[in-house]
Amino acid sequence: TSARVADLGTTIFAEMSALAVQTGAVNLGQGFPDTDGPADVVEQAVEAMRGGANQYPPGAGIPALREAISTHQKTWYGLDVDPDTEIAVSTGATEAIAAALLGLVDPGDEVVVLEPYYDSYVAVLGFAGGVRRPVTLRPPDFRLDLDELRAAVGPRTTTMLINSPHNPTGTVLTREELTAIRDLAVERDLTVITDEVYEHLTFDDVPHIPLATLDGMRERTLTISSAGKSFSFTGWKVGWMSGPAELVRSAVGAKQFLSYTSGAPFQPAIAYALGHDASYFERFAAILQSRRDQLCAGLSEIGFTTYVPQGTYFAQTDIRPLGYDDGIEFCLALPKTAGVVAIPTQVFYDDVATGRPLVRWAFCKQESVIAEALDRLSVLA
Ligand code: PMP
Ligand code: GLN
């Protein structure tokens, strides 16, 4: 094993899902829906396969999907994005993140990243030889501290990697926070990579504001999203990036040697799915909001300090009121103590002291599954 990989261990999501399968625990760990996305979209993929969409598609994605992404950006956000030069399809957002970091970051470059961070950011930044400069989001509100953000940018900083709606805290950055990011990016001439995979999953009418829509940002921002989250097909691994041709070209330069191309029959199906009207996305967010409310009410009744998220699939809790203090120990024991799997947030923090008592729970699950998990967890009360 190379030193590069030896240090990484196993991703917490695989580790905890394996534990759930092994022990028969209810899995509120890894963020994947337990209900499939729309049946008509599945039908489109089946038809595409039967119709011969089974060989390598173009590296940047089939024209129909790039067109659909371009239309989506225009319809939802008023952004004009050229489907031929400013969009590329990827094997999930995960590959887009990897391609972007490998294509844009040189060894020694510093990259500002919000922590807790999605774990692939750190792994791939390591592959690229980049140095992370975390800005810490803390309970109870997990907001971005604008002074800490400014302090994180040094002379070697070239890039900011932003994520909103934010996994694992559920924070949705406000216009004020985004404006501070913009001001800094423009002042220091930084490239911004923004992971917006949960763009359609905000609650209580909190708006998702794409960073690329702020004045001065379109020309320096690479935006990443994924069909996994918007359509509940996480296993299809269809993601994409959009932004200035130069940034997309750099990322595709890396992508061509990662996967080369991505899932031929899924691309026409997702092109079709992106054409769903606003009511589909609104209904989906409303369902998730009610699951969030069910889970958060249950967790706080059991005694966890519960932080109600504004977006994503996830809620954070503090376990200390129940007499525990280390989330890793708590989560490793939880399948035994309660028959439930959750994720210790600490593994996403460099600032371990802040992350230590925090545990993340996924609510992208059926109502009956959340009810069963809460019932099991009530033994901790
Ligand atoms: N970014 C964030 C913030 C995520 O939560 C996830 C995954 N679940 C991804 C990227 C990866 O998306 P994909 O499954 O499309 O690779
Ligand atoms: N994004 C999902 C989560 O945060 C899982 C993705 C993965 O397993 N890498 O749980």
**What pLDDT digit, counting tens, does each position of 204-215 carry?**
999 999 999 999
What is the rounded distance in angstroms from the CA atom of residue 289 to the CA atom of residue 202?
8
The one-letter amino acid at 127: F
pLDDT tier at 9, thresholds 50, 70, 90: confident
Determine the atom of ligand 2 nearest the C-alpha atom of 31. Answer: 10
User: If you average pLDDT over residues 184-197, what whole number do you get?
Assistant: 98
Q: pLDDT value at position 339?
A: 97
Determine the atom of ligand 2 nearest the C-alpha atom of 234. Answer: 6
The 3-class SS string of 80-105 reads CCCCCCCEEEEEHHHHHHHHHHHHHC
Structure tokens at 52: 């011969």
pLDDT mean across residues, the chain:
97
**How close is the Cα of 119 to the center of ligand 2, in Å?**
9
Residue 40 has a CB neighbour count (10 Å cut-off) of 11
**How close is the Cα of 322 to the center of ligand 1, in Å?**
31
**Candidates 167, 171, 172: which one to mutate for ligand 1, based on the most atoms within 8 Å of Cβ?**
167
Residue 279 has a CB neighbour count (10 Å cut-off) of 8
Cis peptide preceding 335, ω within 30 of 0: no
Ligand in closest contact with the CA of 16: 2
Atom 2 (ligand 2): residue with closest C-alpha? Answer: 31
Atom 15 (ligand 1): residue with closest C-alpha? Answer: 92
Q: Could you give all domains of the chain from N- to C-terminal order, each with its CATH number?
A: 3-30+279-380 (3.90.1150.10), 39-276 (3.40.640.10)
Ligand in closest contact with the CA of 117: 1
**How close is the Cα of 13 to the center of ligand 2, in Å?**
6
Would the CB of 31 count as within 6 Å of ligand 1? yes
Q: pLDDT value at position 7?
A: 85
Model ipTM? 0.97
Statement: residue 202 has pLDDT above 90: yes
With beta carbons less than 8 A apart as the criterion, state whether 338 and 376 touch.
yes
Ligand in closest contact with the CA of 311: 1
Ligand in closest contact with the CA of 259: 1
With residue 47 as reference, give the H or E element that holds it: helix 39-50
- The residues, any chain, with a CB within 8 Å of residue 42's CB and separated by 6 or more, are 36, 269
**How close is the Cα of 379 to the center of ligand 1, in Å?**
32
User: pLDDT tens, 87-116?
Assistant: 999 999 999 999 999 999 999 999 999 999
Atom 5 (ligand 1): residue with closest C-alpha? Answer: 167
pLDDT tier at 10, thresholds 50, 70, 90: confident
Q: pLDDT value at position 147?
A: 98
Best CA proximity match to 312, nearest among 326, 325, 296, 301: 296
Structure tokens at 127: 């592959």
Ligand 2: lining residues by beta carbon, under 6 Å:
11, 13, 30-31, 167
Would the CB of 61 count as within 6 Å of ligand 1? no
Would the CB of 221 count as within 6 Å of ligand 1? no
